[in-house]
Structure 1
Amino acid sequence: MPGNDLSDMFNSIPPVTRYWFSGTILFSLLGKFNIIDPMRMILLWNRIYSHFEIWRPITALLFYPVSPSTGFHFLINLYFLYSYSSRLENGMFLGRTADYVFMFLFTWLALVVLLEPMVLTVLYIWSQLNRDVIVQFWFGMQFKAMYFPWVLVIFNLIVRGSAMMELVGIIVGHLYYFFVFQYPQERNHSSGPVVIPIALRLLPFHVYFILLLVNILLQILASYYLFLSA
C-alpha cells in the first residue's frame, strides 16, 4: 500500500538525518502557513537574552523561510540535506551514531544555528570523504565530488548574487574534516572522528536528541548569565 511504502521509506532514513529532515519540513511549513509566526523561529539573540525565548536556537536550525522567491532554493537544500546527510550517515558513520551526533554538534556550535550553512557543511564533509566519486549536476554536468561545494558557490553567485552562506558552511566543514580526518592521517593515526566517550556510544538515539537540547539550554543559560553580569 502507498501508506506503507511512505512509512518504510521514512523509516529507512538514518536516525540523525530523519530528525533533521522531518523537523526542517515541519517547521518550514508551520512558518509558511503562519501557524507559527516565522519571526518567533528565527535566531534573534536579544530575544533570547531579554525574553528568555530559549527555543530559537532549535527552531532556527530547522526553519527555512519558504516563499515564492525562495521555494525552489528550499527544495534544493532539502534534497541536499536528505541525500548527503543520509550518504554520510550510512557511509563513514554507519553504526557510529554517536560520532555523527558529535559532528552535528560541532558544526551546529560553529555555525551558530543556520540551516543553509549546516547543509553545505555536511555536503562538504561528504565530498572530502568521497573526493573521486563522480557526481552529476544540472544539464548532465559531471565532475568529482571534491569540486561539488565550489560548484554550488559559483551557482549561487550566479543565481542569487551571493554565496556567503555557502562559504561559511565550507569553512566550518573544512575545520571539522581537518581536525577529525586529515590531521590524524598526517600524524599517522587511524582516520576517524574524534574519540567519543564509550558511555555516549551506548546510549539509544533519543537520548542523543535530549542531550542536544540540554546542550543548547546550558549554552543559552550561560550566555544569559554573562549578559546579566555585563
Structure 2
Amino acid sequence: MVADPWSWYAEIPIVSRLYLTASFLTTAACALDLVSPFSLYYDFSLIFRKGQAWRLVSNFFFFGMFSLDFLFHMYFLVRYCRLLEEGEFRGRTQDFVCMLVFGAALMLLAAPFLAVHFLGSSLAFMMVYVWGRRNEHVRMSFLGLFPFTAPYLPWVMLAFSVLLGNPATTDLVGIACGHAYYYLEYVYPVVAAIRGWTPRRILAAPAFLTHIFGPAPRRPDIPRPVIVEPDPPRG
C-alpha cells in the first residue's frame, strides 16, 4: 500500500510520469494565467507559416481547466498509460514511446480535416483502446453500474465523455489511431508471416530509441512438444 502521494508518484514508470507531470503543469500554468490555451492549440497554418513549432507538442498536454472533466481524463490517462508501460511494454520502453509517437503523428495528420485542436484526449483514448484489445478477457464495470469486457472500455468512456458535454470527434480520433496501431503491430505481423510478406514488423522502434532505453529483453523460446511415436506392433 502506498504511504503518501509522493511515493505513489515516484512509483509511476518514467514515460507515464513525464506525461502526467507535463499535463498537470500545463493545466496549472493556464489556470494561473501564466500561459494562454490559445498559444497551445494545434493550428497547421501557425506552425508551418509562422514557425510556432511548439504547437505540435503542446496540444497533447492541455486537457482543459481544472474540472471534473480534467480529473476524469487524468485518472484514465495515468491508469492506462501506466498499465501499458508496466504490462504490455514492460522492459520495452522504446516500443512504448514508438507507439505514442506513431499515434501522435497520425492524429496530427488527421486533425486539420476534423477541426480538432487539442489531442491529449485522443492520445489517452488510443492507449485505452490498445490496452483493451490486449486484455480482451478482463471483466470490468463502470461506476459499478454494469459489467463489460475490456475491449468495450473506450466506447463506454466515449459515452461518458459525451454526457459531460465533450464532442465525440476528439475521442473517436484516438480510437481510430489505436486500431491502426493494433492492426499494424499485432495483426499484420501474423498475416505477413503466414503469407511470406516482408517486412513482417512495420512499427519496430528505431535504433536511436533502442540506444536510449536499451534493447528489449529477449523472450524465452517456447519449447516444442515432444511427440513420442508408439512402438510398432510385433507380429
SS in 2 for 1:61: coil
**1:180 pairs with one of 178, 185, 192:** 185
Contact kept? 2:63, 2:73, Cα under 8 Å? no
Q: Judge which range, 159-168 or 32-41, deviates more.
A: 159-168
Deviation at 1:127, TM superposition (A): 0.3
CA–CA distance in structure 2, aligned partners of residues 63 and 166 of structure 1: 14
Deviation at 1:170, TM superposition (A): 0.7
Question: 1:123-162 CA distances to partner (integer Å, 9 max, x unpaired)?
Answer: 0000000011012212442210011111122333444273
Q: Does 2:81 correspond to 1:76?
A: no
CA–CA distance in structure 2, aligned partners of residues 197 and 46 of structure 1: 29
Contact kept? 1:32, 1:65, Cα under 8 Å? no
CA–CA distance in structure 1, aligned partners of residues 4 and 162 of structure 2: 39
Deviation at 1:15, TM superposition (A): 1.1
Partner residue in 2 for 1:226? none
Larger radius of gyration: 2
Partner residue in 2 for 1:50? 49
Deviation at 1:188, TM superposition (A): 4.7
Matches within 5 A, 1:121-200: 121-160=126-165, 162-188=167-193, 194-200=203-209
Gaps of 5+ in 1: 206-230
Partner residue in 2 for 1:17? 16
Matches within 5 A, 1:25-40: 25-40=24-39
CA–CA distance in structure 1, aligned partners of residues 77 and 139 of structure 2: 19
Q: Judge which range, 150-159 or 54-63, deviates more.
A: 150-159
Q: Does 2:210 correspond to 1:201?
A: yes
Deviation at 1:199, TM superposition (A): 4.7
Higher helix share: 1
Name the TM-score, length of structure 2 as normaliser. 0.76
